[in-house]
Structure 1
Amino acid sequence: MSEDTVPLKTPPLQSARMVETIYGCKWSLTVFSLLANGVNRPGEMVRRVDGLTTKVLNDCLRKNQSFGIIKRIAYPEIPPRVEYEITPFGRKFIRILDDLEKLQEEIVAATKDSPQ
């Protein structure tokens, strides 16, 4: 390889897959918003969001937990109590999602301003 040669840059497959999966999940962004606003118990999440079922929420929470975006905290109480919180990695990941949302807003604004 000569000094003028640039190595092939490969896409970030894992993070791209994560973004795609999160945006593909109808509820993940809503769950992140709930957690950011202090709603961290599953029952309260279901009560706060019309159309969100316990089964769908549990699938969403499990998926985000497997990515390391949120963590589950189980308290040894009777009745059992479970809460979720955003991890430090999750905060970083959500900032990236927020940046993508801002980029989308800029694209939409630019499209409106440009002549057709």
Structure 2
Amino acid sequence: MLTKDELPECPVATTVQLIGSKWKLLIMRNLMMRPWRFNELKKSLEGISQKVLTDSLRSIEEDGLITRTVYPEVPPRVEYALSDLGETMRPILDAMQEWGTNYKNGTI
């Protein structure tokens, strides 16, 4: 996780730094619906490798956008969910979804 002093000066670049990869955006999109388990995320994100998913989840968690909850069960159950900070990104992701839908439908 970068400190606030290490983040880009440009606010747009800061946002891109936090969620700018294809996989991070799609993970966040899924977590907007509900908490997900690792294997559920992997199955829903066609083409993502286990390593990339693990690295992306760790990075997003370090940035404070998601939470990782480990339940004391056998076998252990781990769920990922948006944190309060991650929830503040909902309008951004909603706007991206709306724009993409409009673009695909030819309404813009």
Shift in CA distance, 49/97, structure 1 to aligned 2, threshold 3 Å: closer
2:57 to 49, 56, 61: 61
Amino acid at match of 1:78: V
Residue 32 (structure 1) aligned with residue 67 (structure 2): no
Shift in CA distance, 79/93, structure 1 to aligned 2, threshold 3 Å: same
CA distance in 2, matches of 1:46, 1:36: 16
Residue 45 (structure 1) aligned with residue 36 (structure 2): no
Q: Which has the larger radius of gyration?
A: 1
Unaligned runs of 5+ in 2: 1-7
Give the conservation status (yes or no) of the 8 Å contact 1:18–1:67. no
Shift in CA distance, 30/90, structure 1 to aligned 2, threshold 3 Å: same
CA distance in 2, matches of 1:68, 1:14: 20
Counterpart in the other structure of 1:4: none
Unaligned runs of 5+ in 1: 1-11
Shift in CA distance, 58/83, structure 1 to aligned 2, threshold 3 Å: same
Amino acid at match of 1:81: R
Output the TM-score relative to the length of structure 1: 0.66
1:75 to 71, 86, 90: 71
Shift in CA distance, 64/56, structure 1 to aligned 2, threshold 3 Å: same
Percent identity over paired residues: 33
- Higher relative contact order by CA 8 Å / sep ≥ 6: 1 or 2? 2
Give the conservation status (yes or no) of the 8 Å contact 1:39–1:45. no
Pairs aligned (count): 94
**Cα deviations across residues 41-95 of structure 1 (Å, max 9, x unaligned)?**
0101111221012111111111111111001001111111100110111111342
